[in-house]
Structure 1
């Protein structure tokens, strides 16, 4: 078997795994905004049901960015993309995308959900007025690993931004979003 054939098989396997990561087929005639709204609501329900402390954290947050179904695929070089909504209280006030690209040891495909809890007015304002915002080192991270739910602890709540990654599907050797860029989109 040549290396080109091996690469082709890995690429097909990755594409198949990514296709298997989708949560549901698209609805005919569904607008982009309606699709994002529906997926955000589903992801928010999953977050509250699976991550201990998420409901309490949401009650304290000034805003929450929910990005459901972030898809990441890679074979040495990797890319990730997803679209979601910024919620202030129960209202979806803006729509955002996340995109990331990287080079390194990444093999496979995955999909997952991300929630960013903005715990201070300043953190929320900085996010809303920036163009091409990146998650900084001031963020605390909680994620589910191997099917076990990671909770949000009180030591993380003192951070201005808390990132929660949940609902992973698929298989990938690297699920980081280092260098991811968040951009406002019109829907």
Structure 2
């Protein structure tokens, strides 16, 4: 029994390490940055395709960050990681890194897209100053037809996710840490 627990712990730590190391964004090659920027544009189109009212969110928000591919996995201990593009008034202004470490009941893995809308300059500046962490009370809205119509900002942010694949019993966004790296 002790060996099984140790094996599960080792497996969980390995999953977390792989997720966190694989998503390191600031040593990225130009090719990788170009790919992430292209994927972010595609993700925006897919969010709008899933719910046409999302277009209004993209147009009216002060700024937003699009993570076209967030990987999440765990078995007891887990984590998530992703790279994205930050926009101000619809213009790309930099790259972003998302990371999260979780402990608790969870099992499996998943891939999803995520967009974080900033309501005003204050919330966007918190992100740009690397002082932004998704609060526990903030929840993500699944991007489906009509879902954005009734969504509202909480603490200056509004978050939407779109499942890409995988199955995971746990899907919170609270505790996500974001890091911003402006374009030169």
Instruction: Report the TM-score, using the length of structure 1 for normalisation.
Output: 0.75
1:150 CA displacement = 5.4
Change (3 A) 1:150 1:173: farther
Pairs within 5 Å for 1:1-187: 4=4, 31-128=31-128, 130-136=129-135, 139=138, 141-144=140-143, 148-149=144-145, 151-154=147-150, 156=152, 160-185=156-181
Aligned counterparts of 2:181 and 2:102: Cα–Cα separation in 1: 22
Aligned counterparts of 1:185 and 1:142: Cα–Cα separation in 2: 26
Number of aligned pairs?
Answer: 168
1:122 CA displacement = 1.9
Range that drifts further, 152-161 or 96-105: 152-161
1:168 CA displacement = 3.5
Change (3 A) 1:104 1:64: same
Aligned counterparts of 1:30 and 1:67: Cα–Cα separation in 2: 17
Aligned counterparts of 1:186 and 1:65: Cα–Cα separation in 2: 12
Q: SS of the residue aligned with 2:171?
A: coil
1:64–1:88 Cα contact (<8 Å) kept:
yes
Q: Provide structure 1 residue ranges, at least 5 long, that are not aligned to the other structure.
A: 16-28
Superposition CA RMSD, Å: 3.3
